[in-house]
A and B are shown apart, each in its own frame.
Chain A
């Protein structure tokens, strides 16, 4: 059981002490290797959802030899139920800009980009203002790093890092084969660090206060705090910074409406956890947490007993049917089969056993899809069908 880990609110990300100039100049005065070590010792992992160790990412990029390198802030926040990055960019943009510049210093990049989703275009004017103020300061301290905004245009898949590079290169946002990995060959086939908005904001905290402050939060393998986007059937929807490692039961105690039937952790590509598993589910990266541990980009959607899980699944699958890039067979056709399949079962055109065939299909999708998204589109299907099978049929 994971009851040891209590839900703890934290306030780092949005605490603004208007000191980015100070943090930037102090940090870039330090050696790249020292900063990498600091990051590694913080055990910060990517906050976009995939959870790759940030320090290692920067280290690998810094070791890649190239005439040009890039730092990219992934602000293509498209996962249903996630809205924290928008808030970070509107409330504390300088933390993100500073972190990008520090990353540039560490890996030897002179240019950074913020890939901002088209749906957030209204953020652009303010963000541009912040960037020009930031550029002015960089010039003042003679630090050579420029940041540009690249606008997306309505494509969820561009949040996948290699799809994002393709998009920035003026192409269809289709994920690439890996390897090569971005740290060797990313945007324009140059070594690239691509980090989620929140990840960058956390590095600001780490460089400002030291790795220990961050490391002391959370639990083993899941250090630090994380922003959670809370929505659905909750009396207090919004954005909350919480320590990692809490149990889902505690989370529901805090945010549920007293009738929570299930929580979708990690958005449409994440997992649905039914009430009976709240106690044994912890929010954090895989590791020594007992029970099930679920990493997340921070999307927490609560459903109460008035909600039909069939409708929820149908909505997710429709989303993926439209937002899959369409290039690889398991994701493109698999999504269509899943959605057509649950409809057929619901209408009685296929018998309930067909759900088992579809569950086996989800395994294939997880095993064979080209990108991380394709591998996870079926998560919601398997977790919903396994836990709410009767709702799919009747």
Chain B
């Protein structure tokens, strides 16, 4: 059996197979796989007896339910006003420089993806970013280098 198929079955067993369980299942797959592949979405549609188009339409509504292949660590830099005022661009540059990728790209080793995101709710400690589910605030280029070095060692 395919691992994703098993994962989806487990998630459906855990959450249920009604429409209102769709989001938790999509989230569960993204947590493991970092993104929703065509295959995953079809398997979810099958498991929940939903049209595949509905799964796709729903998933693409949500910014955190990626449907393109993503790295192990997804970096989401907040681009909303306060972070933007407080140096978001330098943060982006520092990350791009360190990972040798541009915004929207994934590193060749498939470890890091770099994205922007809307307000993370840390405006008083801007600029802020998420790496997967963890938040980092009051960023500076130096902090970025420290944080990413730690991740690179993982």
Instruction: Given the known inter-chain contacts A122-B133, A172-B57, please indicate yes or no for A153 contacting B65, CB distance below 8 A.
Output: yes
Number of interface residues of B (CB under 8 A): 37
Assess the A231–B82 pair: CB atoms within 8 A.
yes
Assess the A173–B118 pair: CB atoms within 8 A.
no
Could you show 20 A-B contacts with beta carbons less than 8 Å apart? A78-B118, A85-B121, A86-B121, A119-B121, A150-B24, A151-B23, A151-B27, A154-B63, A168-B20, A169-B20, A170-B23, A229-B124, A230-B124, A231-B126, A233-B85, A237-B124, A239-B124, A301-B123, A319-B118, A322-B118
Per the bound structure, the CA–CA distance linking A218 and B65 in Å amounts to 42
- Whether, in the assembled complex, B94 has its beta carbon less than 8 Å from a beta carbon of chain A, the answer is no
Assess the A153–B81 pair: CB atoms within 8 A.
no
- Whether, in the assembled complex, B73 has its beta carbon less than 8 Å from a beta carbon of chain A, the answer is no
Assess the A118–B123 pair: CB atoms within 8 A.
no
Chain B neighbourhood of A188, CB < 8 A: 20
Instruction: Given the known inter-chain contacts A301-B82, A315-B80, please indicate yes or no for A154 contacting B64, CB distance below 8 A.
Output: yes
- Whether, in the assembled complex, A171 has its beta carbon less than 8 Å from a beta carbon of chain B, the answer is yes
Residues of B within 8 A of A (CB): 18-24, 26-27, 30, 57-58, 61-65, 79-82, 84-85, 117-126, 130, 133-135
Assess the B123–A237 pair: CB atoms within 8 A.
yes
Nearest CB on B from A105, distance (A): 24
- Whether, in the assembled complex, A55 has its beta carbon less than 8 Å from a beta carbon of chain B, the answer is no
Chain B neighbourhood of A311, CB < 8 A: 84
Q: Which of A170, A237, A325 has the most CB of B within 10 A?
A: A170
Per the bound structure, the CA–CA distance linking A239 and B124 in Å amounts to 8
Nearest CB on B from A364, distance (A): 25
Chain B neighbourhood of A238, CB < 8 A: 124
- Whether, in the assembled complex, A167 has its beta carbon less than 8 Å from a beta carbon of chain B, the answer is yes
List of 5 A-B pairs having minimum Cβ-Cβ separation, nearest first? A154-B63, A170-B22, A237-B124, A154-B64, A231-B123
Assess the B118–A231 pair: CB atoms within 8 A.
no
**Of B20, B79, B81, the contact of A81 (CB 8 Å cutoff):** B81
- Whether, in the assembled complex, A323 has its beta carbon less than 8 Å from a beta carbon of chain B, the answer is yes
Write the chain A residue with the least CB distance to B24: A151
Assess the B82–A81 pair: CB atoms within 8 A.
yes
Q: How large is the interface on A (under 10, 10 to 19, 20 to 34, 35 or more residues)?
A: 35 or more
Majority SS of interface residues in chain A? mixed
Assess the B135–A122 pair: CB atoms within 8 A.
yes
Please report which residues of chain A, range 15-56, place their CB below 8 angstroms from some CB of chain B when the two chains form the complex: none
Assess the B63–A122 pair: CB atoms within 8 A.
no
Nearest CB on A from B88, distance (A): 10
Please report which residues of chain A, range 376-393, place their CB below 8 angstroms from some CB of chain B when the two chains form the complex: none
- Whether, in the assembled complex, A79 has its beta carbon less than 8 Å from a beta carbon of chain B, the answer is yes
Write the chain A residue with the least CB distance to B54: A171
- Whether, in the assembled complex, A77 has its beta carbon less than 8 Å from a beta carbon of chain B, the answer is yes
Write the chain A residue with the least CB distance to B60: A172
Per the bound structure, the CA–CA distance linking A360 and B136 in Å amounts to 41
Chain B neighbourhood of A325, CB < 8 A: 61
Chain A neighbourhood of B133, CB < 8 A: 121-122
- Whether, in the assembled complex, A316 has its beta carbon less than 8 Å from a beta carbon of chain B, the answer is yes
Assess the B63–A155 pair: CB atoms within 8 A.
yes
Assess the B58–A172 pair: CB atoms within 8 A.
yes
Chain B neighbourhood of A217, CB < 8 A: none
Assess the A153–B23 pair: CB atoms within 8 A.
yes
Chain B neighbourhood of A83, CB < 8 A: 121-124
